[in-house]
Structure 1
Amino acid sequence: MFHMTGTHAGFGKLTEAVRSEAVLSTTQNPRATFERSRVTRSGIGATFEGNLTLQGVVRPVTLDARIYRERGSDMGDLSTLVLHITGDLDRNEFGASGDANLV
């Protein structure tokens, strides 16, 4: 689950635009979910395939994840890991097409 109300876009006005009803509508849709269907290990991470639900719209996506130890932790300490997830999607497919001139 992704908490969309915590979405940041670099600076205040742009973040407001991204969170607005015209784009992500985070007030009405505070969460997005990802249901994985396949995981492929690759190097220090993995590729996740599955369905992303954003604003009530479900679309298949592929996400790349890299796994890191927490900064400052001992080499063998795997008790706390950091997961960095990246991927591409077309926001228009999820009905988030507003404010095209800003975001």
Structure 2
Amino acid sequence: MCPRAARSCAARASGKRLLTRAQDEGVARGDIDATDLFALAGALAWLGDQPALAPRVDRLFGVVTDAVLTAPAARPQASQAPVPARGAAGPGPCGRGS
């Protein structure tokens, strides 16, 4: 196994343990699994690479954490910055306004 694959497996195993612990403590939804969590994290990482979506990243992070976490004290404080008007952030992924 290549070192990159080993790191990926280790990260997934750690993420699974953290999710399971959060679920056991009642601070994360019980109906998601590690694959769901990594898919959501991957989507957030992709958003960070999209200049047109940069103004929305903090808000969307809050949306995702609100969808995953159940305990209000466990939720990080997401930016309450307003979402820019449609098209104000520049071209979207298809060259049109977002």
Query: What interval of TM-score do these two structures reach, taking the shorter chain for normalisation?
Result: under 0.3
Higher helix fraction: Structure 1 or Structure 2?
2
Greater share of residues in strand:
1
Normalised to the residue count of structure 2, the TM-score between the two structures is 0.26
